[in-house]
Amino acid sequence: MTVPDTLGGIGETAALARIFPRLPSAAAQLLGPGDDAAVVAAPDGRIVITTDMMIHGPDFRLAWSSPRDLGWKAAASNLSDIAAMGASPTALVVAIAAPADSAVSLLEGIADGLREACSALAPGCGVVGGDLSVSHTLTIAVTALGDLEGRDPVLRSGAQAGDVLAVSGSLGCAALGLRLLFERGVDASGEPDAAAAASVRAEHPDLIAAQLAPSPSIADGVAAAIGGATAMLDLSDGLAIDARRLAHASGIGLDFDSSRLGEDPNLALAGGEDHALLATFPAGAALPGGFRAIGRVVTGEGLSVDGSAFDEQVGWDPYRGWNGGAG
Amino acid sequence: MTVPDTLGGIGETAALARIFPRLPSAAAQLLGPGDDAAVVAAPDGRIVITTDMMIHGPDFRLAWSSPRDLGWKAAASNLSDIAAMGASPTALVVAIAAPADSAVSLLEGIADGLREACSALAPGCGVVGGDLSVSHTLTIAVTALGDLEGRDPVLRSGAQAGDVLAVSGSLGCAALGLRLLFERGVDASGEPDAAAAASVRAEHPDLIAAQLAPSPSIADGVAAAIGGATAMLDLSDGLAIDARRLAHASGIGLDFDSSRLGEDPNLALAGGEDHALLATFPAGAALPGGFRAIGRVVTGEGLSVDGSAFDEQVGWDPYRGWNGGAG
């Protein structure tokens, strides 16, 4: 029986040497990994920057997510934040902290996921630097850079009464995938279980992938900006929570058309981790890319569905939504 | 008796509202926290970027470091990596993961430390964005941006035989501070102890500060670039380890003058976390800022001291140097 190499066994330098060849290169990279810092082209004279951390336990379970899923999702969720500004992602830096007894293949898989997500979702974007640390809790922190290519950023605050409310991407699928995992990706005692998760994933590949390895339409961020979007954000905490943020920032109200929210409008509104783009466009504008209308911007404040106020507090708060388990 | 607010008790939105006013603002900020991403000026057309994570246990002990120390050190260590490229730090994004039962004052203290470090070490640099998560393990991930202001970055690979080897900052003080904490900042059973640490800090404020809240001379990075530095790096893992990296990247050898390495040259060489800048300058050049000569660049490879080969493997590997304790 072969014992796999561990991070503690081979050390940081050897681990980095195993990871580097797997990382995606960035077209904007002027100086890559290996020095104190990287240098990235910023031809616009401005740079868009966002950071997001994924933590074992509240954000993922190793019994459910493959290392490749983790790298993919860490990239995808940050790329989506760049897209939501109307920018084109150019580069990532990735800090990973893992237990010393982790197999090196864990890091290799994360690197593979980062590469595949960049290639599929934002070709030309790559990893220009990072940091490797030891921790009891597997943690992946990604910072993404984006290029506005001469355009104004699309903020949350620009929606105006009369605009069309539109979304690019699926609503509620990631939440449904998570529900399936909690219901059926567990063993008899309710603990996350890899075999059970594999079984439910084989049965519902799209729903589970929406949760574990989402594929937001990154290019639709730039398409929205070019197409005249007046406001935009990434749906990470659920449509209702995030739409309220857009409404509040813009000083307007948002009315959803329930017939546009799929079979289960409540699921779509509660959602969570959709990583779809929510945007507003001037009335009558042709909706670009994969955007479809789901409602309209109205005077007033807060949310309504088919004209009736929607005040339910549904969605995700990291400090309140976690029960402490990992698995 | 008043129970302090916890992150889990007040939730993410309220916690962010408590932190934001304490964060330093960045002169280069075009759009700050509150949208999907921030926008930072990059007038040079290039951006320097580095990321570094601090983990409770291997990187710090809460019994020894105040929240303010943590924010300060997280900023300082990243600012130093930007300085080591010859760039001027412009902006930070900060991701923090903390246990849900953490006091909100922990985050407030970290924010204060970030602000004070930016103000003291890199005026004009500030925090433009971040992320707040829950984790069993307190984790602080900082990404820093820097502006090359039209200059070439100073790489590790440019040293040439005949150059002067110079350092800006103290050598070995951070390691000595850590040794003092391990020896005397502990209780009778050897566990990190806040009262014992406070006592040793009162007695050796500079050595303990060098470890817990270092003050690298960030401005000397730009001074070195303007002053003609041929190569430069930040000393984070110890002078011997980091000097070998510079020597290897440049394809040269480095010879230290032991009389320039302080009272204990071995301590200076082993070091760790000095966050001093090591740079090489053409022979005869006036050394800028706080740089002082400690040796010279020679043909060949590796390190020597007073002309005798120095092959000892001393320094820090995160996957090998940690015994698993936290405190």
From the list A94, A135, A234, the residue facing B57 with the nearest CB is A135
Query: Is B11–A319 a contact, with Cβ atoms under 8 angstroms apart?
Result: yes
Q: Is B271 contained in some domain?
A: yes
**pTM, to two decimals:** 0.94
Query: Is A155–B35 a contact, with Cβ atoms under 8 angstroms apart?
Result: yes
Residue contacts between A and B (CB atoms, under 8 Å): 251
- A151 pLDDT higher than 60: yes
Phi, psi of B60 (to 5 degrees): -160, 165
The model's confidence at residue A323, banded by pLDDT at 50, 70 and 90, is low
Written as one string, the DSSP assignment of B202-256 is HHSHHHHHHHHS----THHHHHHHHTT-SEEEE--S-HHHHHHHHHHHHT-EEEE
From the list A42, A51, A139, the residue facing B93 with the nearest CB is A51
Question: pLDDT tens-digit profile of A90-115?
Answer: 999 999 999 999 999 999 999 999 99
- A168 pLDDT higher than 60: yes
- Nearest C-alpha neighbor of A95 from the set B193, B141, B261, B94: B141
Look at residue B3 in the predicted model and tell me its pLDDT.
75
Is B84:B140 a contact under the CB 8 Å cutoff? no
Nearest-Cα residue of chain A relative to residue B128: A49
Q: Is A320 contained in some domain?
A: no
- B206 CB-side CA count, 13 A: 5
Residue A84 and residue A197 in one domain: no
In chain A, which residues have their Cβ closer than 8 Å to the Cβ of B45? 41-43, 45
Residue A202 and residue A304 in one domain: no
Residue B113 and residue B54 in one domain: yes
Q: Which domain holds residue B40?
A: 10-147
- A316 pLDDT higher than 70: no
Q: Is B154 contained in some domain?
A: no
**Both tokens assigned to A199:** 């079984």
Residue B44 and residue B135 in one domain: yes
Element (H, E) at B277: strand B277-281
Who contacts A55 (Cβ-Cβ below 8 Å, separation ≥6)? A137, A138, A139, B97, B133, B134, B135, B139
Residue A70 and residue A82 in one domain: yes
CA–CA distance, B129 with B131 (Å, rounded to integer): 7
Residue B202 and residue B183 in one domain: yes
Question: pLDDT tens-digit profile of B204-219?
Answer: 999 999 999 999 999 9
Higher pLDDT among residues B311 and B124, named by residue: B124
Q: How many distinct structural domains can be found in chain B?
A: 3
Q: How far is A302 from chain B (nearest CA, A)?
A: 17
Q: Is A319 contained in some domain?
A: no
**Range in A16-25, A89-98, B297-306, B307-316 with the lowest mean pLDDT:** B307-316
Q: Is A154 contained in some domain?
A: no
Q: Is B317 contained in some domain?
A: no
Residue A121 and residue A246 in one domain: no
Would you call A239 an interface residue with chain B, using a CB distance cutoff of 8 Å?
no
Contacts with B, A 40-99, CB within 8 Å: 40-55, 57-59, 81-82, 84-85, 87, 91, 93-95, 97
Q: Is A314 contained in some domain?
A: no
Look at residue A4 in the predicted model and tell me its pLDDT.
83
From the list B87, B94, B134, the residue facing A55 with the nearest CB is B134
Question: pLDDT tens-digit profile of B15-25?
Answer: 989 999 999 99
Look at residue B325 in the predicted model and tell me its pLDDT.
60
| Strands B139-147 and B164-168, bridge-based pairing | unpaired
From the list B11, B36, B322, the residue facing A50 with the nearest CB is B36
Q: What is the ipTM metric for this complex?
A: 0.94
**Both tokens assigned to B261:** 């390495």
Question: pLDDT tens-digit profile of A188-233?
Answer: 999 999 999 999 999 999 999 999 999 999 999 999 999 999 999 9
- B61 pLDDT higher than 60: yes
Residue B77 and residue B182 in one domain: no
Question: pLDDT tens-digit profile of B242-300?
Answer: 999 999 999 999 999 999 999 999 999 998 999 999 999 999 999 999 999 999 999 99
